[in-house]
């Protein structure tokens, strides 16, 4: 009898990630025919009974003979695992509020503070400790296992695991899928009719190819014309920056203004709600001083940006999707397709994986973690070899790659000076003195979750 494929889900208590991953595993005929052991792990014990119950109910409904367990012990969860899937955060919104507000107070005009900009750097530094601990324990307890990471900042964390451990890792994100839907909406076509290829870095990917699946027609000329014809304010907070990038650089970036804008110095003029991202009155004190996050106000309702792309046309174009029985359909994430490919020999084309470049994107260092399409089957996972991107796009990506490597070096060396190098390279930096002061304040605010970094 074959040994079951052990899948450890770390952060299983997550409301969005946990159920979706469990459902994907249970829906996979290939994995369940091979035999699986599903281990659900979370540091908060109270989250686990609901997740385990959900998994058992799905197994019963789908007539699966899976072994299902839960634990708060990382070592127990990953011991002998073939796949370790991670989605972890600590007090996400309290610290995200600091990531967003504090750098802005020092003159860094970042628009989101999640994956890029100074806020993204500190977000990554906080999550590197837990992620590297998982990867290091995998070296001991399941050295041949594959780490499939959903934790943000995706590429920075995968860079750390790649540089500082021997654990094999792939970062996964649905941002490219979001970009496909945006393009389909502008083209007024079903997304299934599109054949696309996008590459770059996570949350900063560029569609190299947009073709009609049936005819092979290059749809970029049509996309450019449709973009010009569409209402300029439609879906402003999501599409405005991508539309300008299409006009200037010739390619469509994804997944949206708030994400790609983290890597572009001039992006704030294309996100109307920037100043309201987290609202509070500073005269009343900072809410995180009491362990609270400010209220989240990302976009406003009932404003001119809510108009459709093409007013007066019938609703129900490519962006629309029929109601689905969510609990019975896969999430669309790529962790389980990768498992099916590598362990069961089921071939899959993967729209986006985050792995060391190794020649996938020309003009980028081989050791930089990039995002590119890939093919996977029983012989392994192979990123595509992409065409060279426009020089301006490649230049922006190279800069982010350098920042990414410096950040990992700063973590490993516990060096504020190396961190300062990364901050000063960031497109939002305009003051050396403010950069130093911002680093000092953030290191004090988040000292419980950061390495003890010194000058």
* pLDDT tens for each residue of 298-309: 544 445 555 677
Helix (H, G, I), strand (E, B) or coil at 180: helix
Enclosing H/E stretch for 350: strand 348-356
Would you state the pLDDT for residue 269? Answer: 84
- Dihedral sign from CA coordinates of 353, 355, 360, 361: positive
Higher pLDDT among residues 280 and 132, named by residue: 132
Q: Where are the alpha helices (DSSP H) in 170-262?
A: 175-187, 220-229, 236-249, 257-260
Q: Which stretch of 89-93, 99-103, 290-294, 338-342 has the lowest confidence by average pLDDT? A: 290-294
| Beta-carbon contacts of residue 229 (< 8 Å; ≥ 6 apart) | 310
The class (CATH top level) of 5-90+119-173+333-383 is: alpha beta
Would you state the pLDDT for residue 314? Answer: 56
The yes-or-no verdict on residue 322 having pLDDT over 50 is: no
The answer to whether 371 and 354 are in contact (CB under 8 A) is yes
The yes-or-no verdict on residue 145 having pLDDT over 60 is: yes
Would you state the pLDDT for residue 271? Answer: 76
Query: Tens of pLDDT along 65-91?
Result: 999 999 999 999 999 999 999 999 888
Query: Tens of pLDDT along 400-425?
Result: 999 999 999 999 999 999 999 999 99
The answer to whether 110 and 119 are in contact (CB under 8 A) is yes
Would you state the pLDDT for residue 273? Answer: 59
| Beta-carbon contacts of residue 7 (< 8 Å; ≥ 6 apart) | 25, 31, 36, 37, 38, 39, 81, 82, 83, 85, 339
114 falls in which pLDDT band (50, 70, 90)?
Answer: very high
Distance (Å, whole) CA 114 – CA 156: 12
Would you state the pLDDT for residue 308? Answer: 76
- Dihedral sign from CA coordinates of 249, 202, 332, 320: negative
- Phi and psi at 335, nearest 5°, equal -60, -50
User: What average pLDDT does the chain have?
Assistant: 91
The yes-or-no verdict on residue 324 having pLDDT over 70 is: no
Token representation of residue 207: 């569609």
Would you state the pLDDT for residue 313? Answer: 67
274 falls in which pLDDT band (50, 70, 90)?
Answer: low
Token representation of residue 403: 């920042």
Compute the 3-state secondary structure of the chain and give helix, strand, coil in percent, each to the nearest 5. 45, 15, 35
Strand partners, 369: 356
Would you state the pLDDT for residue 310? Answer: 75
Mean pLDDT of 439-445: 98
Distance (Å, whole) CA 37 – CA 162: 27
Would you state the pLDDT for residue 325? Answer: 46
Would you state the pLDDT for residue 328? Answer: 76
Q: Which of 232, 154, 83 is nearest to 404 (CA)?
A: 154
The answer to whether 277 and 99 are in contact (CB under 8 A) is no
* pLDDT above 90 coverage of the chain, percent: 80
The yes-or-no verdict on residue 276 having pLDDT over 60 is: no
Mean pLDDT of 120-128: 98
Enclosing H/E stretch for 383: strand 380-383
The predicted model scores a pTM of 0.91
| Beta-carbon contacts of residue 178 (< 8 Å; ≥ 6 apart) | 254, 255, 256
Query: Tens of pLDDT along 236-266?
Result: 888 999 999 999 999 999 999 999 999 999 9
The answer to whether 152 and 115 are in contact (CB under 8 A) is yes
Distance (Å, whole) CA 446 – CA 123: 10
Mean pLDDT of 264-278: 73
The yes-or-no verdict on residue 59 having pLDDT over 80 is: yes
- Phi and psi at 170, nearest 5°, equal -135, 130
| Beta-carbon contacts of residue 225 (< 8 Å; ≥ 6 apart) | none
The answer to whether 389 and 361 are in contact (CB under 8 A) is yes
293 falls in which pLDDT band (50, 70, 90)?
Answer: confident
Q: In whole angstroms, what separates CA 126 from the centre of its chain?
A: 16
* pLDDT above 70 coverage of the chain, percent: 91
2 falls in which pLDDT band (50, 70, 90)?
Answer: confident
Would you state the pLDDT for residue 133? Answer: 98
> DSSP secondary structure string, 222-236?
HHHHHHHHS-TTTTH
Q: In whole angstroms, what separates CA 338 from the centre of its chain?
A: 17
> Using N-to-C axis directions, what is the helix angle for 117-141 and 416-425, rounded to 10°?
130
Q: Which residue has the tokens 């050396």?
A: 432
The yes-or-no verdict on residue 290 having pLDDT over 90 is: no
Query: Tens of pLDDT along 378-396?
Result: 999 999 999 999 999 999 9
The yes-or-no verdict on residue 204 having pLDDT over 50 is: yes
Q: Which stretch of 88-102, 109-123, 128-142, 162-176 has the lowest confidence by average pLDDT? A: 88-102
Would you state the pLDDT for residue 319? Answer: 36
Structural domain boundaries in the chain: 5-90+119-173+333-383, 176-306
Distance (Å, whole) CA 454 – CA 441: 13
């Amino acid at each position: 009898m074959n040994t079951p494929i052990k899948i450890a889900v770390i952060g299983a208590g997550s409301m969005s990630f946990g159920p979706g991953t469990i459902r994907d595993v249970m829906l996979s005929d290939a994995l369940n025919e091979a035999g699986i052991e599903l281990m659900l792990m979370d540091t908060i014990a109270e989250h686990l009974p609901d997740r385990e119950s959900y998994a058992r109910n799905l197994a019963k409904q789908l007539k699966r003979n899976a072994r299902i367990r839960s634990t708060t012990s990382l070592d127990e969860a990953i011991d002998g695992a073939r796949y370790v899937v991670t989605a972890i955060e600590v007090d996400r919104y309290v610290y995200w509020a600091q990531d967003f507000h504090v750098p802005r107070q020092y003159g860094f005009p970042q628009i989101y503070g999640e994956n890029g900009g100074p806020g993204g750097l500190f977000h990554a530094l906080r999550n590197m400790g837990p992620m590297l601990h998982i990867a290091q324990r995998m070296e001991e307890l399941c050295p041949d296992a594959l780490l499939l990471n959903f934790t943000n900042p995706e590429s920075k964390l995968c860079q750390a695991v790649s540089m500082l451990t021997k654990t094999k890792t792939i970062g996964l994100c649905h941002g490219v899928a979001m970009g496909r839907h945006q393009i389909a909406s502008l083209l007024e076509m079903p997304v299934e009719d599109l054949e696309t290829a996008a590459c770059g870095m996570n949350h900063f990917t560029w569609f190299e190819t947009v073709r009609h699946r049936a005819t092979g027609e290059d749809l970029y000329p049509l996309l450019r014309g449709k973009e010009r014809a569409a209402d300029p304010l439609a879906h402003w907070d999501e599409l405005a920056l991508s539309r300008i990038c299409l006009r200037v650089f010739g390619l469509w970036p994804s997944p949206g203004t708030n994400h790609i804008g983290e890597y572009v110095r001039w992006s704030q003029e294309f996100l109307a709600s920037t100043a309201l991202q987290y609202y509070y009155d500073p005269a009343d004190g900072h809410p995180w001083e009491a362990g609270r996050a400010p209220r989240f106000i990302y976009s406003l309702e009932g404003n001119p940006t809510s108009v459709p792309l093409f007013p007066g046309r019938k609703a129900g174009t490519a962006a629309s999707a029929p109601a689905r029985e969510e609990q019975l359909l896969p999430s669309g994430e790529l962790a389980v397709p990768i498992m099916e490919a590598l362990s069961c020999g089921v071939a899959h084309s993967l729209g986006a994986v985050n792995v060391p470049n190794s020649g996938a994107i020309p003009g980028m260092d081989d050791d930089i973690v990039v995002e590119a399409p890939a093919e996977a089957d029983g012989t392994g996972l192979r990123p595509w070899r992409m065409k060279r991107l426009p020089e301006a796009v490649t230049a922006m990506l190279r800069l982010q790659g350098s920042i990414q490597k410096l950040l990992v070096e700063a973590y490993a060396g516990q060096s504020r000076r190396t961190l300062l190098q990364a901050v000063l390279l960031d497109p939002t930096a305009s003051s050396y003195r403010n950069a130093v002061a911002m680093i000092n304040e953030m290191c004090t605010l988040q000292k419980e979750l950061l390495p003890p970094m010194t000058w």
